[in-house]
Amino acid sequence: MKREAKARCKGCGRIFLKKDLNRKGYCSECAMKRMLNVWKSLHDKKGYWYEKWKKGMLLWAKKLEHEKHKKKRRKTAESRSKRKKG
């Protein structure tokens, strides 16, 4: 008979079957509490999760702007080489 692995929840400390915990090690109740805290942080526009989201969005916008600028430069360089050949 095979024994099923057990582990403690990182939030409440209760013992569960390992398959009943999510990949981060939280039971469904603690995972839901964490999700609600994240949603509240984003809704209130303050807190750790909001700052993390905002930082990621700013980095994404800068990356997008850089790619847009890079494409514009590439097109002008290609058009110059076509003018020289033609």
In a shared domain, residues 51 and 26? no
pLDDT value at residue 67: 84
Asked if 86 and 54 sit in the same domain, the reply is yes
- Per-residue pLDDT, 66: 86
Share above pLDDT 90 across residues of the chain, in percent, rounded to a whole number: 69
Q: Which alpha helices (H) appear in the chain, and where do they start and end?
A: 28-44, 48-85
What is the rounded distance in angstroms from the CA atom of residue 80 to the CA atom of residue 84? 6
**Do 50 and 80 sit in the same domain of this protein?**
yes
Q: How far apart are CA 11 and CA 25, in angstroms?
A: 8
Query: Which domain range does residue 56 map to?
Result: 45-86
| Residue whose pair of structure tokens reads 């915990």 in the numeric block | 21
The domain total for the chain is: 2
> Which pLDDT tens digit goes with each residue over 17-52?
999 999 999 999 999 999 999 999 999 999 999 999
Higher model confidence: residue 71 or residue 30?
30
SS3 assignment, position 15: strand
